Amino acid sequence: MTTSSAAPASDAALPVRVDHLDLLESHAIFIIREVVAECERPVLLFSGGKDSAVLLHLAVKAFAPALIPFPVMHVDTGHNFDEVIAYRDRQAEAAGARLVVASVQASIDAGRVLDPGEGVSRNRIQSTTLLDALSHHGFDAAFGGARRDEDKARAKERVLSFRDRFGRWDPRRQRPELWQLYQGRVNHGEHLRAFPLSDWTELDIWQYIERERIELPSIYFAHDRDVVHRDGMLLAVSEWVAPRGDEVAERMRVRYRTVGDATCTGAVVSEARTVAQIIEEISVARVSERGATRADDKFSETAMEDRKREGYF
């Protein structure tokens, strides 16, 4: 029950204060419903990360007690944490949603993209797999959990973000998005990305996870793991990541702040075992979520913009 913000009905003339999480939740639900109403075949992109967990939770709420009227799609780089895949399957089933898996390995095998090589991130080549899958299934709108506070290019992006026939984002030619008039029509071959969490911050996400008791993959919480120090990050030793040169595997207590391709997503040193402890930890953090955990954004000043122009999430 979330009725705490409602004032007594006898006082209807007074303005009612609304909790900021209620506002963010309502705005996101409004966007999800608008996209479903305006587009033919939406799909929800689900990575198993915390933002997509919140997104799926909101989608379920937007249509309860009916089931969500669209499938869930995971773009699978093949470099996964087992816990995340198990979590993904569990969540899709709990939501009653059909799960579509788009495989980067399949794109490599089909010759659509070049394998970047052993132990190298497949983050960038995901765009091809994603665009091929959208086109193959005829999806004209893809919900994503991206937030504007993550990156300076995302900060510029509309809630409904238009993609041309080539899947490209052109930041200079975005549709004006006035008031709450989300205008979602596209022509054949074009599509939309819809970002209902645009106005949420990392802290909002965690506060909402706590309030709604949303389940997350266990790797978000502190655990002991063998890691190597590489590119200023802590990478988990795995099937794809082994110590190189003079790197030494070290057992440390860590957790993940984001979930992505295991070869380019770093862990952070942490003792936080509960959502409340995580909220406390990030409230005093001095390094951003992507800065702490994503090697792929360290390459250039406009790495995210460049990837998005190619069709990235």
Partner 1 sequence: MADSTVMDLLRFATIGSVDDGKSTLIGRLLVDTRQLFDDQLEAVAHASVSRGVGDLDLSFVTDGLRAEREQGITIDVAYRYAATPTRKFIIADCPGHVQYTRNMATGASTADLALAVVDATAGLKEQTRRHLCIAALLGVRRVIVAANKMDLAEWAKDPYDAIAAEVDALADRLGIEEPLVVPISALHGDYVVEPTGAAPWYDGPTVLGALEAAPAGGWAGEGTVGSRLPIQWVLRHPTGKRTYAGMVDGAPLAPDQRMVLLPAGIDATVRRVATADGDLALAPVGRCVDVDLHEDTPAGRGDMLASPPLPQVLDHLTATVCWFGEEQAREQPREPLTAGQRFRVKHTTRTTVGFVEHVHARLDVNRLVLEPADTLEANDIGIVSITTADPLVVDPYTANRITGSFVLVDERTNATLAGAMVGEPTFATA
Binding residues for partner 1 restricted to 118-177, rule: CB under 8 A: 148-149, 151-153, 155-156, 158, 162, 164, 171-177
Site for partner 1 in 175-214 (CB under 8 A): 175-181, 183, 185-187, 198-199, 201, 203, 207, 210-211
Q: Which of 16, 118, 188, 248 binds partner 1 (CB under 8 A)?
A: 16
Looking at the Cβ atoms of 80 and 198, the one nearer to partner 1 is 198
Q: What are the start-end ranges of the H helices in the chain?
A: 20-38, 50-63, 82-94, 104-109, 126-137, 202-212, 275-283, 289-293, 303-309
Residue 280 is a binding residue for partner 1 (CB under 8 A) = yes
Residue type, 306: D
- Measured between alpha carbons, how far is 145 from 29 in angstroms, rounded to an integer? 13
Looking at the Cβ atoms of 17 and 244, the one nearer to partner 1 is 17
Q: DSSP E strands: which ranges in 121-188?
A: 141-143, 160-163
To partner 1, the closest distance from the beta carbon of 5 in angstroms equals: 7
Count of residues in contact with partner 1, rule CB under 8 A = 84
To partner 1, the closest distance from the beta carbon of 177 in angstroms equals: 5
- Burial zone of 3 (CB within 10 Å; 0-12 exposed, 13-18 middle, 19+ buried): exposed
Site for partner 1 in 58-87 (CB under 8 A): 60-66
- Burial zone of 85 (CB within 10 Å; 0-12 exposed, 13-18 middle, 19+ buried): middle
> Interface mask (CB under 8 A) for partner 1, residues 212-251, using x and -?
----------------------------------------
Paired tokens of 243? 């110590």
To partner 1, the closest distance from the beta carbon of 136 in angstroms equals: 23
Q: Which of 20, 136, 251, 273 binds partner 1 (CB under 8 A)?
A: 20
Which residues are within 8 A (CB) of 26 and not within 5 positions of it... i.e. 6 or more apart? Answer: none
Looking at the Cβ atoms of 8 and 117, the one nearer to partner 1 is 8
- Measured between alpha carbons, how far is 120 from 262 in angstroms, rounded to an integer? 10
